[in-house]
Amino acid sequence: MLSRVANNLYWMSRHIERAENTARMLDVTYRMSLLPYRTPDESWAEPWALPLVITGRATDYYRQFPGALSSDRVLRYIALDPANPSSIYSCIQSARENARTTRGAITTEMYEDINGLWLEIKDRTYDGILSQGISDFFDWVKTRSHRFRGVTVGTMLRDEAYHFIRLGTFIERADNTARILDVKYHTLLPSVTDVGGAVDYYQWGALLRSVSAFDSYRKVYRDVITPMKVAELLVLRDDVPRSLHACTREIYQILGDLCDASSREPERLAGELNAQLRYGRTEQIITFGLHEYLMGILDKLSALNSEINGHFLVPVYPGQQIAPAAARS
């Protein structure tokens, strides 16, 4: 397979996954904004800072909108702003363009689905989203992402193209889980007086719902939501679809099918990361520091992404500008 085709397929799936993750995050943020909570310095935290921190767009946002945060501005910026490369609009546009340039490598059903998604979202307006219902819009984005993955699994030949699509999905998913968990623990932690209270419970529940893990938590632990158990569920358990362990296991297996004698380094890095999560212990992670641990995971995901780019995709040469969509990894 040509490197450029593999590159477009890889980023097509990453953009679709990123659009879904962004919709999940904005939906949870909207619900969390209905309840106030405190940061460690006892100042009132602004919940709408969370999606800006997670997506790494805070600096650009404040440059464009100086002053206090506004829910309307953040929603416009992260949901529909074409100038924001991490917005839902931009992610779907980029995914459609990647699909259009690789129509011979994907099925007709896949292209029709993603093209229809693009045609629908490009006509959406912020006023229309408000009249429809903000949560309904986010549910629509998530449902369309699920549908595209279902069409992919149900129609594609299990060849290299399929493997690169799946690889992009799980790289992006692992990156998102690590980021949102880190932000909850260390950027928007409630004050000591809130821990164990109704607001704290609501926040942890919102975090679990943002990665579709709330029901899994109740089935596994059958207990009140505690930070340590949330960390264990989203980092170390391999039976939770969006956990770091589950994602890295899939990445390692996919790279095992793609790598040969000349490209073993990506497989080695993926295996090393998967082994770290497979044999890790929650107590050791908390003792080491969850923030430091998650930053280490993100660094390894970034190194793995670089190796994947160097061995399979379009290489980035010194002095060449990296596309904005790839900046997070």
Cα–Cα distance measured from residue 27 to residue 23, given in angstroms and rounded to the nearest whole number: 6
What average pLDDT score do residues 45-68 get? 84
Cα–Cα distance measured from residue 326 to residue 241, given in angstroms and rounded to the nearest whole number: 23
Q: What is the pTM of this model?
A: 0.88
Helical axes 88-100 vs 3-32, angle rounded to 10°: 160
Domain boundaries defined on the chain: 3-313
- Give the pLDDT confidence score for residue 177 in this predicted structure: 94
Cα–Cα distance measured from residue 219 to residue 213, given in angstroms and rounded to the nearest whole number: 10
3 has pLDDT over 80: yes
- Give the pLDDT confidence score for residue 306 in this predicted structure: 93
Cα–Cα distance measured from residue 67 to residue 129, given in angstroms and rounded to the nearest whole number: 25
- Give the pLDDT confidence score for residue 300 in this predicted structure: 96
32 has pLDDT over 90: no
Question: CB of 322 within 8 A of CB of 309?
Answer: no
Question: CB of 188 within 8 A of CB of 39?
Answer: yes
What confidence tier does 309 reach under pLDDT thresholds 50, 70, 90?
Answer: very high
Cα–Cα distance measured from residue 242 to residue 175, given in angstroms and rounded to the nearest whole number: 10
Q: What is the DSSP letter of 37?
A: -
Reported as a single tens digit per residue, the pLDDT across 190-237 is: 444 444 444 556 778 888 888 999 999 999 998 788 888 998 999 999
What average pLDDT score do residues 50-75 get? 87
Count how many residues are written for the chain.
329
Reported as a single tens digit per residue, the pLDDT across 92-137 is: 999 999 999 999 999 999 999 999 999 999 999 999 999 989 999 9
Q: What is the mean pLDDT of the chain?
A: 86
